[in-house]
Chains A and B, each alone.
Chain A
Amino acid sequence: MLFYAIRRVLGAIPTLLVIITLSFFLMRLAPGGPFAGDRVLPPEIARNIAAAYDLDKPLWQQFLIYLERLAHGDFGPSYKIRDFTVTQLIMNGFPVSLKLGLLAITLAVAVGTTLGILAALRQNRPADYSVMTLAMIGITIPSFVTAPLLQLIFGIYGLHIFGLNLSLPVGGWNGGAAQNLVLPVIVLALGPIAVIARITRGSMVEVLRSNFIRTARAKGLPTWRIIVHHALHAGLLPLVSYLGPAIADIVSGSLIVEQIFGLPGIGRYFVQAALNRDYTLVMGVTIFYAALIITLNLLVDLLYGVLDPRVRLK
């Protein structure tokens, strides 16, 4: 398994190189540039700026320069967000997105699997139908609807039940204080909860029909034992492959949630950088996201090797 991991990490290097090359040149295909604003700059200033950022050199030279800096761990300065390097921007924003994302995915796994298992055990009965309907709603309603709705209920009106004050702040980071996290985490988790519930239900229904569950029943085992010892393990395996990309997605932040709740995560950079032609920042977040996906997929495969004795990682 160690050798397998080493081989996979080695294999990731060419993958990353291809991603870097493709995104570098594809990005330059788009018209405009970081300094092409509404205000037309005097030609001399424009030339100076271009020279300062090596933008006057042929494209292939720029690429080589970029690669060389990258090899030294230097992602370069942001073209648009003054006085910040790309590394600083990512390192400032990522802890915020990471904290929100991990909390959200933990919540989603806890709630989603519980609902999914419940639905599978009550297959084609009212409990199953209600869970699946809720899941459908969770998938179809976008976060820009749920977020303001929750802000309205818990933040603006405030909620008082049995004398308990359940009011929560509508936004802001506040150093990551618990009450500021609740609403964005819930909003981020809703989609994954729904997806996880559906995946879990589907695979549990299949597992419960399989031959080895019939054997377990024929052995006269109590139902709880059949579910916990025989069914759950196999039933939750498909979830692992979903969680890899899902975690990468959620910890890399969400533009919508960050905007609505006013959070300093990195999700917004993905959109802003592209719109602004902030070349170095686009490259930075792209490489960051690719590395995240590659790492998490590797973790998923390793985890599979641990969870399923039939999988041999060689």
Chain B
Amino acid sequence: MTHPVLSVKNIDVRFATQDGEVHAVKNVSFDVNQGEVIGVVGESGSGKSQLFLAANGLLAGNGRVTGSVLYRGTELVGARPAALNAIRGSKITMIFQDPLTSLTPHMRVGDQIMETLRVHKHMSREAAAQRAVETLELVRIPEAKRRMRQYPHELSGGMRQRVMIAMATACGPDLLIADEPTTALDVTVQAQILEIMRDLKRELNTSIVLISHDMGVIAGMCDRVQVMRHGEFVESGPVDEIFYRPQHPYTQMLLDAMPRIDTPVRKGHINLKPEDANAPTLLSVDDVKVHFPVAAGGGIFPKYKPLRAVDGVSFTLKQGETLGIVGESGCGKSTLARAVIKLLPKTAGTIVWCGKNLGDASNEEIRALRKEFQIVFQDPLASLDPRMTIGQSIAEPLRSLEPLTSRHDVDARVRAIMEKVGLDPAWINRYPHEFSGGQNQRVGIARAMIFNPKLVICDEAVSALDVSIQAQIIDLILALQAEFGMSLIFISHDLSVVRQVAHRVMVLYLGRIVELAPRDAIYTDARHPYTKALISAVPIPDPKLERAKAKRLLPPELPSPLDTRSALMFLKSKRIDDPDAEQYRPRLIEETPGHFVAEHDPV
């Protein structure tokens, strides 16, 4: 039998904090064999990252580690920095979640890759540069030579993560530890990055540890899986065992909570109520545009070009209906929603709310209308004022829009809505930092629901939450909708979540609709190549389905939205080859009743 690459025995990690000792990893043991991909799955705070930081001697100053980590027989725990530095970065390498902050901002990416080669392999500048370009080509970075001279902020998120991978593979490592490598990326980019990692494993026979909270990613990548919770492995086994025959209730819970793009059914959770076909129209949006002026070129007085964040979007929304808006970051999802409720000025178009044209409404009228449309934001903690108690935050809309309400009434209404969203009314005087992300999001929902509004916009409202918490918040939103009958605009980059919560789905690309259809039509009968690519990129928490997936078709990297040609990415036949020209506008064609597809070149 061959020796494992990494052998971890009884690793225990503790942090000394002001609130006492935190026991982050509790006596964990496992092996990583040559050429194997191990998945470590768990929710935030499970200790999965700390375990591997500890193994590499990268713990924060207040961390203490005991136990043993053997890399091919060499002990890493307690090793001298020089001995450790001979292994990490060369034999064992790491890539991290956020590639922008994980790369040194003031160093060219080429220099950052060459640095590892020069330190570990003692290469000359020329040899290191040569090898760095090869590595960048290996992770499929186009124009690698030119990229070498760029800074991290000049690259897209996906490119940055590829640079991280190139840096981690330059020295030909035995073991690559990837800590949530795709969490901050769009699904299409995620699929590309995972593809690159699969290739590396195949070509270089590198062992990989993939740390992730996403069961879908784990299903498609890993040979063996360790499920981690509260610093312990609750279940370990081959990937098929874990997914098809989970033994531990926590594993089962994770699998159930994970939304699946291949089904709208939420096992063990509340399901979406079918819409009422006869419900009156609440909102109708016609040809709305939001353009931002962006300085282009130099000169003492620079010219401004319009950045078309939203470029001619029309839709209607019925009472009690949920419209899901999906698309990659930068496609204009949030801008559209904010323009609709007049949090942003629109450039053109009309918005009719309950028969009233909002374009004619005065500021006073809009202010009064705010009772009827509310918004819930992505980052629950950051969108609450840290100096206000949650009670004050929830009461604030009441105080500003119905200032005559008596203190007693305000208090009663706040307590009532807290109870509705699953918060103990006794917590009314607590502050946001005392709560978890899920609880703070309940506060955000309570604040939005206090007027019993007709429309609630959920802008990535569940995106920052762990899957188990995410499932609970979706339960809450669906339950509130069933009880109060409000309409929802549900914005998310996560197509699986949208499948569970939306009656109709709109797919945006560079500020324009490419497809708009009832949810099952979108997910089972997508017509537009972009929609197809998006859907095929989403990983499914099912190893067999993932393995059976044909080569994914992926759209190219998002082109510059300042270039008018970009909008015709899928209709190149009508494109005028001039970045500033007024281009053809693809029409939306109703292919089957209710299923609109933008014109595109035949695939």
* A-to-B contact residues, CB < 8 Å: 3, 6-7, 10, 123, 209-212, 214-223, 225, 229-230, 233-234, 307-310, 314
Contact = CB atoms under 8 A, between A and B. Distances in A.
Given A221-B85, A309-B151, A310-B153, A215 B104 contact: yes
A218 B298 CA distance: 40
- 6 shortest interchain CB distances as A-B pairs: A220-B89, A219-B89, A220-B85, A211-B101, A220-B88, A309-B151
Contacts, number: 91
Contacts of B120: 220
Contacts of A221: 85, 89, 115-116, 119
A217 B92 CA distance: 12
Given A6-B300, A309-B105, A310-B153, A214 B295 contact: no
Contact of A123 (B61, B82, B84, B94): B61
A17 to B, nearest CB: 20
Contact of B300 (A3, A219, A220, A223): A3
Contacts of B94: 215, 218
A212 B163 CA distance: 13
B295 A314 contact: yes
Interface in B158-175: 164, 167
B106 A309 contact: yes
B536 interface: no
21 contacts: A3-B300, A7-B300, A211-B102, A212-B103, A212-B105, A214-B96, A217-B57, A218-B88, A218-B89, A218-B94, A220-B119, A221-B115, A221-B119, A222-B82, A222-B85, A229-B107, A234-B106, A309-B106, A309-B151, A310-B105, A314-B302
A214 B105 contact: no
A223 B81 contact: yes
A281 to B, nearest CB: 36
A220 B106 contact: no
Interface residues of B, number: 40
B102 A215 contact: yes
With a 10 A CB-CB cut-off, give which of A216, A217, A219, A221 has the most chain B CB atoms. Answer: A219
B86 interface: yes
A3 B300 CA distance: 5
Contacts of B298: 3, 314
A220 B86 contact: yes
Contacts of B102: 211-212, 214-215
A213 to B, nearest CB: 8
A214 B109 CA distance: 16
Given A6-B300, A220-B85, A220-B87, A225 B107 contact: no
Contact of B119 (A3, A225, A308): A225
A215 B119 contact: no
A218 B93 contact: yes
B58 A217 contact: yes
With a 10 A CB-CB cut-off, give which of A215, A217, A307 has the most chain B CB atoms. Answer: A215
B119 A222 contact: yes
B56 A230 contact: no
Query: Chain A interface secondary structure, helix, strand, loop or mixed?
Result: helix
A219 B151 contact: no
Nearest to A231: B104
Given A219-B89, A220-B120, A314-B295, A309 B153 contact: yes
B101 A210 contact: yes
B563 to A, nearest CB: 19
Nearest to B91: A220
Contacts of B98: 211
Contacts of A211: 96, 98, 101-102
A97 B327 CA distance: 61
Contacts of B302: 3, 314
Interface in B369-425: none
Contacts of A209: 60
B207 interface: no
Given A123-B61, A218-B93, A221-B119, A310 B104 contact: no
Given A3-B299, A7-B300, A310-B105, A218 B153 contact: no
A94 to B, nearest CB: 31
B295 to A, nearest CB: 5
B90 interface: yes
Contacts of B164: 215
Contact of B116 (A10, A219, A233, A310): A219
B359 to A, nearest CB: 33
Nearest to B56: A218
B497 to A, nearest CB: 27
Interface string B36-66: 0000000000000000010011101100000
Nearest to A217: B58
Contacts of B90: 220
B84 A220 contact: yes
Interface string B118-137: 01100000000000000000
Given A229-B107, A234-B106, A214 B58 contact: yes
A208 to B, nearest CB: 9
A211 B179 CA distance: 13
Contacts of B300: 3, 6-7, 10
A297 to B, nearest CB: 19
Contacts of B116: 219-221
Nearest to B151: A309
B52 to A, nearest CB: 10
Contacts of A214: 53, 58, 96, 102
A277 B475 CA distance: 75
Given A217-B57, A217-B88, A314-B298, 5 more contacts: A214-B102, A219-B167, A221-B89, A221-B119, A223-B81
A212 B85 CA distance: 16
A1 to B, nearest CB: 9
A233 B87 CA distance: 27
A121 B101 CA distance: 21
Interface in B284-301: 295, 298-300
B58 A219 contact: no
